Structure 1
Amino acid sequence: MNKYTKGMLTLSALLAASGSHAAVTLYDDGTSSVSTDLLINVFYTQSSNDRLADSNDPNSEMVSRDQSRVRIGFLPNYIGFNFNTEANGLKIGARSSFWVTLNDTDLNRSAEGLGTRSGIDVRQFYATIDADWGQILLGKDFGLFSRSNILTDELLLGHGQTSDFYGLIDGGNVSFGNIGSGYTYPFPKAQITYRTPDLSGFQVAVGVMDPNKKSKTSSEDNPRFESEISYTNKFNDVGLKAYLNGVTQSSKDTAGETSSNGLGGGIRVDVAGFALNASGFETKGLGDVAGLDQVITSENTKSKGYLMQGSYSFGQERLVLSYGNTKVKKSGVQTLEYDNAAFAWFHTVNDNLTLVGEYNRTEVNEGKTEENDTFAVGAVVTF
């Protein structure tokens, strides 16, 4: 396993609430410990964009512009703190992480005056209870639906697409990775989630989560339910990870009731430095970008997408080819097709520093609405 793959797995473990973190130990008395971990990434990007002045009018003129920026990539920068202790046969843990962007430095030209406007986004703040029977997570963490789709993305530590269709070229937050072009984003949610112990490679997670509302006055008789079953194993020199996840909830107001459901899954195989990764999803009454956190008022909204990737690692290098596609239909009529093709090179300098070069080609509605080319070079620092 190369250093970059180790870094990917370490980051995935952090986001997936694993009890094992690569971090800097602040305190450890043999029973209780406190540690911290950190990620900083920064990219120089150059984008060339052609899009319709009015995306709803196919006869409107095409608008072209080039934009250079110094910004973060797909992942926000964050610092996290981990707490662990053992008492009465139970392992008690907790994690808090605070996420920030660098992309706010040109957003302060207003009556509010000078100074940046970095917001602290608390995406994780939870406690865990572990025993022989598994784990219970209590608090705020990423959702289960689409979780592994995003964590197995070969470009997780990269830059990703910055289509102007979603306002990403000048966006004050992150680039999008493959969100909206292959998977939806599992927004952090208040939850109570149970995970089984490792059962010969299998693990099941079931979560009861705070539901989303279709309107300010809507009512939700039941919580949102999300789940995932995964299988991870290694056969001689062949590594395998497969997973299936889902979500369901309903919300009703005076306009009626909307049932929202989604199913996702994927598989990743790696051998002799090569890795193939494929994932997909299909939803009804959910958003194509942010799942239930994007308010959908009709079950007639249907989305489906897939992500196909291949990578090769040798020495300190890792090369990745990626293609993702998402289609959205409303009342049986296709209203959006969004795809992103990418090539990336990762060079591992050491366990704490990775250099990245990346190209993304994004098209909306097969390029008839927008074509966007983005080049990015940058560095990722982790502790």
Structure 2
Amino acid sequence: MRTTERRNGPNHLTWNAVATVVIALLAGRPAAAVEVDAGDWKLTANGNVNVHYIHASCEEETVAPVGGGLACFGAAGEDKSSSISNGLLPAALAIGASTTQKGLDLTVKFGFYPGISTNDGSPNLQQGADPGLLNTALGTTAIDMREVYMTFGNDSMGTFLLGRAIGLFGADAILNDMTLPGVGAVTPGGNAAPANTSLGSIGLGYIYTDWLGQINYTTPDLSGFKLTIGIFDPLEPVAAGAPTPEGSPGYHAKVAYENGPVYVSATFIAQKHEGLVNANDFDSRGFDVGGKFTFGDLEIMGWYYNGKGMGTTALYLLASPGGGQERDSDGFLAQVTYKIGDTKVGVNFGQSNLDLASGEVVSDLVETNEKYTVGVYHSLTENLTLLAEFTDTTAEAHSGLENDSTNINIGAFLSF
């Protein structure tokens, strides 16, 4: 801790508020899937199980020293924590079905995402309503069903997607994050809880893409280019109080180009937010752009985002101080990996910045979250990866207050 002054003003946000929104679960993309023919339909199943030992060294604090900061802090006077849990991904079981009728390819998908951390408490001890007593004997873990969607289309007309699926803004950054099968940064509480997952680089280089109710159209492949446009179920700003009806949906779009070892993409997102009074209405809009380039065993990746009223870490978290003002934010994730036989080594560095709104008073609200991760990922088999990572995370407030933490993890990721 570089300064000892702490302000607990209106913009000070504890991790308990952040964690309920930020820690999200993301499905992996396996090397192969189980397929079964059933008449004219093909049924598929794929998923993963990943388990890690995570040890974090945090600063000795009893409350979050930086509002919205992502460096971990101690609890009950303890500055170290250990857990055996999922990493950035939960475990996953995704079940799908597909067929072709009248020239249209039809698919449906249901995704189940359980974890191994006890996060529902013990029904026998009636702990489910007490967030401070969840990891005890006789506890259970939840199943998060975050994918429910259908698609229809073909190679000549393009494809429509309707349902709950991963968003467009920020998706390529997280899907290409090398910590996806690993852990990356832990949550500020010090371990992978309460939603079975760690942060990876969420809030430390990109805003979490999230899973959204949406209706999209994607064009056919146009000489390597694809364009997706769509609308999504508008989200309430985090900690906004009573929900209010939204007069219009959210809008998002993505353009991507792929040609051999080159992949680049850009996305756009926008949404209007209706407050309880008109003076609290504000608009959110943002974009990201980046790509990855593969040169033999070397891969270089980078994504940048910029937003107004987008907030940081999660969509619309800390996006506005109220009164119709919007906070600006931006960030980037840069990454280099190199494969040596069956082993991949890599390093990534990410930073997310959140500005104060015009006229806003300086406080302990986070200004910058940043981290670097060094990782080793060894493919023991085609589907089994053994890995180890070291991550250093720093959170800095607009007041100058700073919080640092480190964590190491070793584990295994098995997909099918």
Structure 1 length as normaliser, TM-score?
Answer: 0.86
Greater percentage in strand:
1
Q: How far off is 1:256 after superposition?
A: 3.1
1:53/1:116 CA distance change after superposition, 3 Å: closer
What is the rounded CA distance, in whole Å, between the counterparts of 2:187 and 2:243 in structure 1? 33
What is the rounded CA distance, in whole Å, between the counterparts of 2:87 and 2:29 in structure 1? 20
Question: Where in structure 1 are there 5+ consecutive unaligned residues?
Answer: 1-10, 15-20
Helix, strand or coil for the counterpart of 1:118?
Answer: coil
**Which one of 369, 384, 401 corresponds to residue 353 of structure 1?**
384
Cα deviations across residues 205-246 of structure 1 (Å, max 9, x unaligned)?
Answer: 112111113443423221000111011112xxxx11111001
Helix, strand or coil for the counterpart of 1:148?
Answer: helix
1:149/1:56 CA distance change after superposition, 3 Å: closer
Helix, strand or coil for the counterpart of 1:350?
Answer: coil
What is the rounded CA distance, in whole Å, between the counterparts of 2:125 and 2:78 in structure 1? 29
**Which one of 53, 56, 67 corresponds to residue 81 of structure 2?**
67
Q: Which residue of 2 aligns with 1:310?
A: 336
1:293/1:95 CA distance change after superposition, 3 Å: farther
**Which one of 369, 387, 394 corresponds to residue 363 of structure 1?**
394
Q: How far off is 1:26 after superposition?
A: 2.9
**Which one of 211, 221, 229 corresponds to residue 206 of structure 1?**
229
**Which one of 70, 80, 90 corresponds to residue 76 of structure 1?**
90
1:94/1:294 CA distance change after superposition, 3 Å: farther
Does the Cα contact within 8 Å between 1:48 and 1:372 map onto a contact in 2?
yes
What is the rounded CA distance, in whole Å, between the counterparts of 1:110 and 1:170 in structure 2? 24
Structure 2 length as normaliser, TM-score?
Answer: 0.80
Where does 1:174-323 land on structure 2 (aligned, <5 Å)? 174-214=197-237, 215=240, 216-234=242-260, 239-253=261-275, 254=277, 255-292=279-316, 296=320, 297=322, 298-323=324-349
Helix, strand or coil for the counterpart of 2:315?
Answer: coil
What is the rounded CA distance, in whole Å, between the counterparts of 1:376 and 1:347 in structure 2? 14
What is the rounded CA distance, in whole Å, between the counterparts of 2:343 and 2:377 in structure 1? 6
1:351/1:87 CA distance change after superposition, 3 Å: same
Letter in 2 for 1:198: D
1:294/1:201 CA distance change after superposition, 3 Å: farther
Q: How far off is 1:293 after superposition?
A: 6.8
CA RMSD in angstroms, aligned pairs only: 2.5
Helix, strand or coil for the counterpart of 2:191?
Answer: coil
Does the Cα contact within 8 Å between 2:119 and 2:142 map onto a contact in 1?
no
Q: How far off is 1:118 after superposition?
A: 1.6
What is the identity percentage for the equivalent residue pairs of Structure 1 and Structure 2?
24
Q: Pick 1 or 2: higher relative contact order, CA cutoff 8 A, min separation 6.
A: 2
- Alignment of 1:376 with 2:409, yes or no, is yes
Does the Cα contact within 8 Å between 1:107 and 1:172 map onto a contact in 2?
no
Q: Which residue of 2 aligns with 1:34?
A: 43
**Which one of 343, 351, 362 corresponds to residue 374 of structure 2?**
343
What is the rounded CA distance, in whole Å, between the counterparts of 2:265 and 2:218 in structure 1? 14
What is the rounded CA distance, in whole Å, between the counterparts of 2:94 and 2:123 in structure 1? 31
Q: Which residue of 1 aligns with 2:21?
A: none
**Which one of 170, 179, 203 corresponds to residue 146 of structure 1?**
170
What is the rounded CA distance, in whole Å, between the counterparts of 1:64 and 1:373 in structure 2? 14
Q: Which residue of 2 aligns with 1:112?
A: 126
Q: Which residue of 2 aligns with 1:18?
A: none
What is the rounded CA distance, in whole Å, between the counterparts of 1:109 and 1:12 in structure 2? 30
What is the rounded CA distance, in whole Å, between the counterparts of 2:170 and 2:317 in structure 1? 13
Q: How far off is 1:299 after superposition?
A: 3.6
Does the Cα contact within 8 Å between 2:85 and 2:192 map onto a contact in 1?
no
Letter in 1 for 2:169: F
1:64/1:158 CA distance change after superposition, 3 Å: same
| Worse-matched range after superposition: 82-91 or 323-332 | 323-332
Number of positions where the alignment pairs a residue of Structure 1 with one of Structure 2: 357
Letter in 2 for 1:292: Y
What is the rounded CA distance, in whole Å, between the counterparts of 2:122 and 2:55 in structure 1? 22
Letter in 1 for 2:198: S
Helix, strand or coil for the counterpart of 1:249?
Answer: strand
Q: How far off is 1:34 after superposition?
A: 0.1
